[in-house]
């Protein structure tokens, strides 16, 4: 028996498998990985989908990491949202695409797409009717493109560097170290 979990992963019935949950189900990608290895997965081993699609459980699409920290580093790395990606996300959402199809197309996790959409809504973007409320700006007042962090903070990296340079110069002047 097979069913889809709410997080997009496929679960299969494999009662008796060492990695199965107490209800007898196991995530299909973990089952495929353990069969490919020829042994059950060890405690702490994490299976990563290379293309980011949790329903694509081909052996060539799966990687095994020895810890969740290593998995997060490979999976997320420096994955800040850019203004262009936000505009693309808004367009895809307006066209009634699902979060999973957007995640597959952008190479992000489904939860990242959903949380980004929620953040854009809180910022005043009406994703169903187009942008309304506060203007959805993609550039800072000096014309640089904004960068968005996973936490949702919008910032201009070049302007931030200029502010830090000025702050350091002022500190050097005040302390006589420059």
pLDDT digits (tens, 9 = 90+) for 64-87: 888 766 666 666 554 566 667 777
DSSP-derived 3-state class of residue 108? coil
Determine the Cα–Cα distance for residues 113 and 89; give it in Å rounded to an integer: 8
pLDDT digits (tens, 9 = 90+) for 128-153: 444 444 455 678 889 898 887 655 67
Residues found in the chain: 178
For residues 68 and 125, the model is more confident at 68
State the pLDDT at residue 159.
Answer: 93
What is the arithmetic mean of pLDDT over 3-24?
Answer: 87
Helices (H), the chain: 28-37, 68-75, 83-94, 99-106, 110-122, 157-175
Cα-based angle 86, 127, 138 (whole degrees, multiple of 5): 30
Determine the Cα–Cα distance for residues 42 and 160; give it in Å rounded to an integer: 44
State the pLDDT at residue 130.
Answer: 43
pLDDT digits (tens, 9 = 90+) for 18-30: 988 989 999 999 9
**Half-sphere exposure of residue 54: CA atoms within 13 angstroms, side-chain side:** 20
**Long-range pairs, 116-122, Cβ under 8 A, ≥24:** 116/81, 116/86, 116/89, 116/152, 117/89, 117/93, 119/152, 120/86, 120/89, 120/90
pLDDT digits (tens, 9 = 90+) for 77-116: 545 666 677 777 777 777 777 777 777 777 777 767 777 7
φ and ψ of 76, to 5 deg = -105, -40
DSSP state string for 42-56: PTT-EEEETTS-TT-
Residue extents of the structural domains in the chain: 2-75, 81-165
**pTM: predicted TM-score of the whole model, two decimal places:** 0.43
Whether pLDDT at 178 is above 80: no
What is the arithmetic mean of pLDDT over 23-42?
Answer: 92
Determine the Cα–Cα distance for residues 134 and 156; give it in Å rounded to an integer: 18
């Amino acid at each position: 028996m097979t069913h889809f979990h709410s997080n997009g992963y496929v679960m299969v019935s494999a009662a008796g498998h060492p990695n199965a949950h107490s209800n007898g189900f196991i995530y299909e990608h973990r089952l495929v990985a353990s069969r490919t290895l020829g042994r059950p997965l060890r405690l702490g081993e994490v299976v990563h989908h290379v293309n980011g699609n949790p329903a694509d459980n081909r052996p060539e699409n799966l990687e095994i990491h020895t810890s969740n920290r290593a998995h997060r580093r490979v999976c997320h790395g420096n994955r800040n949202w850019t203004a262009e990606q936000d505009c693309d996300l808004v367009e895809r959402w307006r066209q009634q695409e699902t979060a999973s199809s957007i995640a597959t197309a952008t190479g992000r996790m489904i939860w990242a797409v959903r949380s980004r959409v929620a953040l854009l809504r809180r910022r005043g973007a009406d994703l169903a009717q187009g942008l309304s409320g506060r203007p959805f700006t993609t550039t800072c007042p000096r014309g640089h493109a904004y960068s968005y962090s996973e936490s949702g903070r919008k910032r201009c990296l070049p302007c931030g560097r200029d502010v830090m340079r000025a702050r350091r110069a002022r500190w050097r002047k005040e302390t006589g170290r420059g």
